[in-house]
Amino acid sequence: MALKDTIQSLMTQVEGLKATNAEEVEAMRIKYLSKKGEITALFNEFRSVPAEEKRELGQLLNHLRQTAETRINDLREQISDQMVNVQKENDLTRTPDPIVLGTRHPLSLVREEIEEIFSRIGFTIAQGPEVEDDKHVYGMLNFAPEHPARDMQDTFFIEKEAGVQKPTDVLLRSHTSSVQTRVMTSQKPPIRVLCPGRVYRNEAISARAHCFFHQVEGLYIDKNVSFADLREALLYFSKEMFGPETKIRLRPSYFPFTEPSAEMDISCNICGGTGCSFCKGTGWVEILGCGMVDPNVLEACGIDSKEYSGYAFGMGVERITNLKYRVKDLRLFSENDVRFLKQFESC
Q: Is the peptide bond before 196 cis (omega within 30 degrees of 0)?
A: no
Closer to ligand PHE by CB, 197 or 289: give it: 289
Q: Sort 263 into a burial class: Cβ within 10 Å, 0-12 / 13-18 / 19+.
A: middle
Task: Determine the interface stretch with ligand PHE among 227-235, 265-273, 287-295, 322-330 (rule: CB under 6 A).
Answer: 287-295
Rounded to whole angstroms, the Cα distance separating 54 from 52 reads 6
Provide the residue type at 144 as one letter: A
For 223-306, where are the E strands, in sequence order?
Answer: 248-255, 258-267, 284-293
List binders of ligand PHE among 164-183 (CB under 6 A): 175, 177
Closer to ligand PHE by CB, 7 or 217: give it: 217
Instruction: Return the residue of 258, 267, 269, 321 that touches ligand PHE, per CB under 6 A.
Output: 258
List binders of ligand PHE among 236-255 (CB under 6 A): 255
Task: Determine the interface stretch with ligand PHE among 5-13, 16-24, 61-69, 288-296 (rule: CB under 6 A).
Answer: 288-296
CB-based contact 233:244 (threshold 8 Å):
no
Give the residue among 256, 54, 246 at the shortest CA–CA distance from 144: 256
Q: Is 290 in the site for ligand PHE (CB under 6 A)?
A: yes
Q: Is 279 in the site for ligand PHE (CB under 6 A)?
A: no
Q: How far is the CB of 217 from ligand PHE (least distance, A)?
A: 5
List binders of ligand PHE among 303-322 (CB under 6 A): 312-314
Rounded to whole angstroms, the Cα distance separating 170 from 157 reads 6
Q: Sort 62 into a burial class: Cβ within 10 Å, 0-12 / 13-18 / 19+.
A: exposed
Q: Is 194 in the site for ligand PHE (CB under 6 A)?
A: no
Indicate the SS3 state at residue 94: coil
Q: Is 197 in the site for ligand PHE (CB under 6 A)?
A: no
Closer to ligand PHE by CB, 42 or 317: give it: 317
Residues that bind ligand PHE (CB under 6 A): 175, 177, 217, 255, 258, 289-291, 312-314
